[in-house]
Structure 1
Amino acid sequence: MRGGRAWLGLAALLYLAISLLLQRRVLGDFDGSAIGRLSTDPTGFTWWLAHTAHALTTGTNPLVTDLQHYPVGVNALWNTAVPLLGVLLAPITFTAGPAAAFNTGMVLGPVVSGVAAAAALGGIVRSRAERVTAGGLYAFSPFVLAHLQSGHLNLVWAVLPPVLLALAHRLFVRDLRRPWLLGALTGLALALQAWLYTQTLAVGVLMLVVLALVLAVRYPHRAAARLPALLKAGFACLVVFAVLAGYALYLVLAGPARPRGPLRSPEYGSADLANTLLPTWLTAIRPVPAPEMQGNLGEQGGYLGVAVLLLIVLAVPACGTAARVAAVTGGVAWLLALGPQLFVAAEPTGVPLPWRVVLGVPLLGEIEPVRLQGVVTLAVAVLVGLALDRFPRPVALVAILAVVSWLPADAQRTTATAAPAFPQLAGQVVETWPRITSDWYGGADPLRAQIASGFGYRLTGGYFLGSDADHPVLIESPWNRYQAGAAWSELVAGPWRGFGHLPAPDADAAARDLRATGTTVVLVVPPPGHDPSPVLDWTRRVTGSAGVPLEGAWVFPLAATLQR
């Protein structure tokens, strides 16, 4: 494609300008704040980026670690570890810090995704300007905006769907002259995604199969003629994927510390039908306030709106085969994204939906169906590009209205990332209070202190997906009796002051729990405005140590001497 690099470069600069404008609040403090309204998920991603860089310099395994949830450890491939981005962003992690690396990834994710979408439309949409418009619509869609606000680095890098679209166009539609090469490129794309985020990999494979079936039904004779070449491509794809991502697949299927049961209710990740017509406050034009919807804010990115629905109605009969295939494939993805039963304004209706068929399929059943909305977004981008490029003026005008209806609001937020460092704890196994939790606001803050300390110590707690001998599925380390006693002491000294006559927790049993995990030090970091005395007294009873004040915190050695 002559001039291809130049126009894609201009598109990248345009998308980068938009991304920087949306995230301008973080630019003045790039390593002291993180993109996202909540803190826990940005903290988790920052921890994994820092851990990957740490592993590169120490020669340790970046994919299985006991730096949190000690001694069981954590399996990176069952978590949002984004190891591929960890390696690519490592120079920024080393020089500017892990929070700056996270913010860089959040700014660049939509840019790269948009460029991939614009490039993928090269064989479908003739005009470069329309491709750039469609790519921008995909890059800053309600789906991406929602995950930007939630700090989901893995999902704002929505690169695989447009890459698979480009490959599928060559595999299923254009002249298939080099099936081995195209199959190998498909295997490469899937392998790279395996090292980025496995759920998007599963979504991509599922929708690639759906697209193949849609085209086979539409053109059965062509499908039969292409079958031998597609089998060659499929074999090449599997070989390349096995070589490049075999270890990742092992970690998912049989690796240590992996979950041994369903991660959550399959209905947790269902899209809400109301979100199809009503945007959240992340979209600039909101005709009416959005009601409560199923799922958290990060999963409420399925807005289509009246203009987009009207575009679909007009484009399907007027815009040719490409539009019809995009509409059908996007429609299948939209229906599957609604999950196993229909939700309307957060209320379950009991109406069964096709996703129920997928629930028993290994790995596919673990997909949060709402994530299929990224494919719906790509289908809309294709329809907009086609309508602007070559079809009747009324359809093009509706496409313009669709683009305007998706304009993002100036609503992106940041959270602080500052954390104390405790280099004195080098070599220790640390129990923290407050404990590490999955709470959206501050629950994972002790992980930031560990990053600031250069991973010099291990944590018995953690925020992760995994398991242990007693719990087939965990999203955070389980409670122990030390933590229960610390919570009891705060309650009795605070809102439950009148219940001080209740039996106190057993300090000796709490100490045994700590020693069973190999804990050598208890670190108490009093939250601002809280009286730390009850927890400090309880910790003294458990550890037998008076405690050492350290950087606004207290350190209580349990079974090893604190290094000074």
Structure 2
Amino acid sequence: MERTAPETTGARLSRPQRFARRIRLARADLAIATGYLALAVLVLSGQWRHPRDGYLIKSGQDQTMWEWFFAVTAHNVANLRNPLGTNLQNFPDGVNMMANTAMFGVGVPLTPITLLFGPTVTFVLVLTLGLFGTAFAWYWLFSRYLVESKLAAAVGGLFCGFAPAMISHANAHPNFVVLLLLPLIAGQILRMARRAENEGGPRPFGRRIRDAVTLGLLVTMQIALGEEPLLIFALSFGLFGLVYYLHRPRIGLRVLRGIAPAVGLAALITVVLTGVPLWWQFFGPQSYRMIDHGPMGNDLKALAQFPSESLGGMISPGQNVAINPTEENSYFGWPLLLLVTVTAVLLWRELAVRAVCAVIVSFTLLSLGPSLMFGRGDTGFALPWKWFEHVPLLNSVLESRFTMAAVPAIAVILTLASQRALDFWRESASDWRPLAWFGALVLALVPLTPTILPVVQRSPTPAFFADGTVHQYVSNGSVVIVPPPIPAGARPLLWQADADFSFALAGGYFVGPTGTDKKGRYGPEIRPTASLLMKAQKSNRFPAIDDATRAQALTDLRYWHADVLVLPPTDNSGVLRNTVNQLLGFQGQKVNGVWVWDVRGIV
């Protein structure tokens, strides 16, 4: 895989000949990219087979939320509306899209795909290209800056792109799957650091400007894809650089002086390009200061267990200690942990190995949360996160996700060890060490081989919304689904998208502020009438309704600017219908398979 095509001599090549030559020279890159892409398609093949009505069952309601994000972004772009905020859900207060990880970096350029084929196609396309692109970008970084062997680099890229955390997030979180810009940012900083290390004098002004512009644009684009992964990457890459130069402080200071001007200018460029969106995110309408997730650390058992969506998880499932099926952020499996530990000891003289070990240990400790959990039981042992959980920005990160910083760090160790094994093989074909290494590598990685993510078919959109009948009942107000959508039941968001966003929704699935301290929460503040309807559905019992309850219902309808209440086919619909009849004082009508209460006359 490392052989390259011979240089062509003689007459000047034509454009097709030059293109063919580049293809020959890059055939290893192409072969590896093809393998990554094929694996990404295989993992998501269940969704690809049903691109319109398929649903990744482990996503909970997150797939619905992300599809809505992509759909409303395309709608706003097509209609030349501000994409940073919308009142199409949570009417009339609206939603701050910048504060909801809407991923404008893919949502805006993929607007034609969304408009032509629907948001589900955009969703699965983003996930597929995210797995493939992340793997290939790390492979590119390793093959250009870490090792000579492309086979060794391919091992590292494979682990980065298809690690258990990546597969887990591929169920529902594109912002933690599309990570291909992070290795490009690392590559740009490494390129600047190498120049500063090798060039003693001041660098040319033009080169500094080019470096700053490149770095600033990369960071800007990553902000448009996901800020939380960027924060975790920045902290871990900073720790890596600090430990790497700790044994060479003079060189480290030279590098710091050399890259500081370009990094500072890149930061300024980033602030200029992202100033308005970031202001909107932190100070605009429906912005919030932080999200109090509660304890969200990794369980210690999760580090050594196999992920649920893997061969090892099928054969040897462990105790379910993950926060939810989309947050299996550690789950490295005991064979890989054992292999990485032994390999790190054997390669300890390598500065890069020492640096990545510091990242693995530090960020794994942070990911365990404020108190050590083992088998879902709290041991009472305090951990470092308790000193960081109140730091601004960090306090909105799910601490479990800090383990994702260990993924490229582990990949560095696997890549360097693979390169060392191949070097031994070149020296002697009979050397037993390469065979031992690659045998151990296979035993460690095969149990982590991802399986096809499970998909179910979701029910179709009610005809009342799909055929446009809803238009007859809306006059610049909102549609109130009975009960209003919340994060646990967000399906109406896609009914709205299927109706081409011709109406606004009360309630929804988003992150917004609550209270005077503007602390973030998932979903809307639950109005009394919404709470009444949800309790009636859950208990399947008709609630007590008096004049005060009816007055409160009217107040809530006026708050929502309600035009119509709609009861779709759902659990315990009989109790819900009778409840709404009693609240409003008149009977609903059945229209296109749903019950409808036109309240424009009383609201």
Q: Give the equivalent residue in structure 2 for 1:369.
A: 399
| 1:469 to 1:514, Cα distance in 2 relative to 1, 3 A | farther
Residue 6 of structure 1: how far off its partner (Å): 4.2
Q: Counterpart amino acid of 1:110?
A: L
Match of 2:420 in 1: 390
> Match of 1:478, as an amino acid?
E
Post-superposition offset of 1:431: 1.1
Aligned to 1:258: 287
- 1:298 pairs with 305, 326, 335, which one? 326
Q: Distance in 2 between matches of 1:469 and 1:517?
A: 18
Q: Residue by residue, what CA displacement relative to the aligned partner does 1:256-304 show, whole Å, maximum 9, x if unpaired? A: 2122453321x22x11211111113212124743113141122123122
| Counterpart-to-counterpart distance in 1, 2:453 and 2:154 | 24
CA drift at 1:29:
1.9
In structure 2, C-alpha distance between the alignment counterparts of 1:469 and 1:325, rounded to whole Å:
43
Is residue 538 of structure 2 the alignment partner of residue 517 of structure 1? no
What residue identity is the alignment partner of 1:207? S
Q: Which residue, out of 436, 439, 443, partners 1:401?
A: 443
Q: Give the RMSD, CA atoms, in angstroms.
A: 2.6
Q: Is contact 2:40-2:131 (8 Å) kept?
A: yes
Specify whether residues 294 and 140 from structure 1 end up closer, same or farther in structure 2 by C-alpha distance, changes over 3 A only: closer
- The AA in structure 2 aligned to 1:407 is T
| SS, match of residue 463 in structure 1 | coil
- Aligned pair partner of 1:142 in 158, 164, 174: 164
**In 2: Cα distance, 1:560 partner to 1:15 partner:** 59
Shift of 1:68: 0.6
Does the alignment pair 1:96 with 2:113?
no
| CA 1:226–1:532: 2 relative to 1, 3 Å | closer
Structure 2 CA distance for partners of 1:128 and 1:144, relative to 1, 3 Å: same
Asked if structure 2 preserves the Cα contact closer than 8 Å seen for 1:543 and 1:557, the reply is: no
1:270-289 paired onto structure 2 within 5 Å: 270-286=297-313, 288-289=316-317
Give 1:386-535 correspondences, 5 Å limit: 386-391=416-421, 392-393=433-434, 394-416=436-458, 418-420=460-462, 421=465, 423-426=468-471, 427-439=476-488, 443-468=489-514, 472-487=519-534, 489-490=536-537, 494=540, 496=541, 506-527=549-570, 530-535=571-576
Over 3 Å counting, the alpha-carbon distance change for 1:191 and 1:430 in structure 2 is same
Q: Is the 8 A contact 2:478 2:564 kept in 1?
A: yes
Is 1:185 equivalent to 2:214 in the alignment?
A: yes
**Alignment correspondent of 2:10:** none
Is the contact made by 1:71 and 1:518 (CA closer than 8 Å) also made in structure 2?
yes
Distance in 2 between the 1:417 and 1:169 partners?
Answer: 50
Greater shift after overlay, 509-518 or 28-37?
28-37
Q: CA deviation at 1:27?
A: 2.5
1:315–1:383 contact (8 Å) kept in structure 2 = yes
Bigger CA radius of gyration? 2
Match of 2:107?
A: 86
Change (3 A) 1:226 1:302: same
Q: What is the CA deviation profile of residues 130-149 of structure 1, one whole-angstrom value per residue up to 9, with x for unaligned ones?
A: 22232122211101111123
2:47 corresponding residue in structure 1: 26
Partner amino acid, structure 2, of 1:148: A
Does residue 146 of structure 2 align to residue 124 of structure 1?
yes
Q: Over residues 371-419 of structure 1, what are the superposed CA-to-partner deviations in whole Å (9 max), with x where a residue is unaligned?
A: 2222211111221121112245244443333322321234533452632
Given candidates 210, 218, 221, the residue that maps to 2:247 is: 218
Structure 1 gaps of 5+ residues are none
- Residues 522-555 of structure 1, C-alpha deviation per residue, up to 9 Å, x if partnerless? 111131xx45333223323434553332331122
Instruction: Indicate how the Cα distance of structure 1 residues 388 and 414 shifts in structure 2: closer, same or farther if over 3 A, else same.
Output: farther
Amino acid at match of 1:381: A
C-alpha distance in structure 2 between counterparts of 1:98 and 1:227, whole Å: 45
Deviating more after overlay: 105-114 vs 12-21: 12-21
Q: Give the counterpart of 1:106 among 127, 132, 146.
A: 127
- Provide Cα deviations, 1:340-366, integer angstroms capped at 9, x if missing partner: 222212222222222233223211222
Instruction: Tell whether the 8 Å contact from 1:35 to 1:106 is kept in structure 2 after alignment.
Output: no
Q: From the superposition, tell whether residues 355 and 468 of structure 1 become closer, same or farther in structure 2 (CA, over 3 Å).
A: closer
What residue number does 2:229 align with?
200
State the Cα deviation string for residues 122-173 of structure 1 (Å, max 9, x = none): 2102111222232122211101111123x11211212244233323432445
Question: Which amino acid in structure 2 is aligned with residue 558 of structure 1?
Answer: V
Deviations 1:408-456 (A, max 9, x none): 23453345263232523344411111321222xxx10111111111111
Q: Work out the CA distance in 1 between the residues paired with 2:32 and 2:61.
A: 33
Distance in structure 1 (CA, Å) of the matches to 2:221 and 2:267: 13
- CA distance in 2 between counterparts of 1:521 and 1:404 reads 55
- 2:451 alignment partner, SS class: coil
Alignment of 1:314-325 (within 5 A): 314-319=342-347, 320-325=350-355
Question: In structure 1, what is the Cα distance between the partners aligned to 2:150 and 2:359?
Answer: 24
Contact 1:258 1:467 in 2 (8 A): yes
* SS of residue in 2 equivalent to 1:467: strand
Cα distance, 1:85 vs. partner? 1.4
Q: Any unmatched runs of 5+ in structure 2?
A: 5-21, 198-202, 422-432
| Correspondence for 2:341 | 313
1-structure distance, mates of 2:101, 2:457: 19
TM-score relative to the length of structure 1:
0.90
Confirm or deny: 8 A CA contact 1:124 1:322 kept in the other structure: no
* Counterpart-to-counterpart distance in 1, 2:412 and 2:392: 31
Give the TM-score, by structure 2 length: 0.85
- TM superposition shift of 1:47: 0.1
**1:36-92 CA deviation, whole Å, 9 max, x = no partner?**
423410000000000000001111111111111111111112213111111132121
Deviations 1:95-146 (A, max 9, x none): 1111111111122210111111111112102111222232122211101111
Q: Secondary structure at the match of 1:360?
A: coil
Query: Which whole-Å CA distance do the structure 2 matches of 1:491 and 1:190 have between them?
Result: 46
**Cα distance in structure 2, aligned partners of 1:367 and 1:383:** 27
Measured in 2, the distance between the counterparts of 1:141 and 1:444 equals 29
Pick one of 252, 258, 263 that aligns with 1:229. Answer: 258
Query: Equivalent residue of 2:578, what SS?
Result: helix
- Deviation at 1:181? 3.1
For residues 544 and 182 of structure 2, the distance between their equivalents in structure 1, rounded to whole angstroms, comes to 60
Separation of aligned partners in 2, 1:347 and 1:520: 49
Q: Is the 8 A contact 2:86 2:95 kept in 1?
A: yes
Q: Quick one: structure 1 residues 210 and 531, their matched pair in 2 at CA, closer, same or farther if it must change by over 3 Å?
A: closer
Q: Secondary structure at the match of 1:299?
A: coil
Q: Secondary structure at the match of 1:334?
A: helix
Give the 3 Å change call, closer, same or farther, for CA 100–367 of structure 1 in structure 2: same
Q: Classify the secondary structure of the residue corresponding to 1:520.
A: strand
Contact 2:310 2:451 in 1 (8 A): yes
Distance 2:233 2:507 in 1: 34
